[in-house]
Amino acid sequence: MKITFFRYFVRQAMRNMAENRLVHLIGLGTMVIAFLMFDAFILIFVNLNSWTQEQGRSLTMSIYLKGEPERAVIESIKKELLQYPVSITDFISKEDALKSLRKQLGEKAGLLDGLGENPLPASLEIVLSRDVSGDSLPYELKTTLERINGVDEVQYSQEWVEKFQAIMGAVRIIGLVFGGLLFLAALFIITNTVKLTIYSRKDEIEILKLVGATNRFVKIPFLVEGSIQGFLGGSVALIVLFLVYVAIMTKVDLSIGFASLDIIFLSPQFILLLLLMSSIIGFIGSTVSLGRFFRI
């Protein structure tokens, strides 16, 4: 593209925006609202996703051992575990188990005094250090360990894993559908906004065509304008979202029971991605509305 043309396109786009300030401000406001809805959704989705993933990452398993475990048994379990992405968090001897049970029972701990022999097994607590959603790893590990002599039983919350996997699946599908719908809504709103600015310059387009402008020459300033507008709308929406986020995080107590729910703002990469997407939506919106206009 000739440099003369390029300068013309950018200058023309800026000029159009300045000349049609009101139309542009209305358009920008509409875009900000559309993008804000989309960005807010993304923020919630990203947090929900990372939170559920976090839960999946910390699947705990208990390996119950027979009788008073010998050092050799523990060693062979540890050796077996080396092949898996797990970390051993704790060894709980029979006595430790009883102590912790006493602690849990509190005042009623006296009930345990009647027991002649400690009936609680010793155990190893391990944590799976990887995302196990949609994974058969916990089950594999359970069967392998149970084959070792001296291991009584391996327990983990099968139910929890399955429920978790179902939740993850649902969250992803809902996210995809909802996000897609919001994306389409934003695109639709923006297409119509751009159409407003095009209609406000109908005469100009006609005159340009009559003095011999190619379709491309007429269209490109609108595309540049749409992209700039999309970018501005996207930026303002992100700023508003960030301010709302800060307000919520500082003013509202989000702790639920013992665990406080930490909402993280979008990462810089995500912000860049959203800004790029806003520009692209602006561009596509212009293309679509121009297509309709030039067919008339």
Partner 1 sequence: MIRLFHVYKSFGSKNPALIDISLTVPKGEFVFVTGPSGAGKTTLLKIIFCAEKPTSGHALVDGRNLMRIKDGELSSLRRRIGVVFQDFKLLPLRTVFENVALSLEVMGVPSSIIRKKVHQTLRYLGLADKEGYYPPQLSGGEQQRIAIARAIVNNPLILLADEPTGNLDYDLTMETMALLKEIHARGTTVIVATHSQELLKGTKRRIIALHKGRMV
Q: Which residues bind partner 1 (CB under 8 A)?
A: 2, 4-5, 7-8, 19, 203-204, 206-215, 217
The nearest distance, CB 44 to partner 1, in angstroms, is 44
Cβ nearer to partner 1, comparing 121 with 221: 221
CB 295 → partner 1: shortest distance, Å?
13
Q: Pairing between strand 59-65 and 151-155?
A: antiparallel
Which residue's structure tokens are 């345990």? 112
Q: Which is nearer to partner 1, 221 or 234 (CB)?
A: 221
Give Cα separations from 266 to 129, 186, 271, 284 (angstroms): 25, 20, 6, 24
CB 16 within 8 A of CB 201: yes
**Residue 89 three-state SS:** strand
Compute the least distance from the CB of residue 211 to partner 1, in Å: 5
Distance of closest approach, residue 24 Cβ to partner 1, in angstroms: 14
Cβ distance to partner 1 smaller for residue 107 or 203? 203
Cβ proximity to partner 1: between 6 and 160 the closer is: 6
Cα-flanking dihedrals φ and ψ of residue 14, to 5°? -65, -40
Residues paired with 86 in a beta bridge: 128
Q: Which is nearer to partner 1, 161 or 205 (CB)?
A: 205
Distance, CA of 268 to CA of 163 (rounded, Å): 32
Q: How far is the CB of 204 from partner 1 (least distance, A)?
A: 6
Q: Rounded to whole angstroms, how far apart are CA atoms 284 and 296?
A: 19
Q: How many CB atoms lie within 10 A of CB 133?
A: 19
- For the CB of residue 212, give the shortest distance to partner 1 in the complex, in Å: 4
65: enclosing H helix or E strand: strand 59-65
Closest alpha carbon to 221 in 243, 192, 201: 201
- Closest to partner 1 by CB, 12 vs 52, is 12
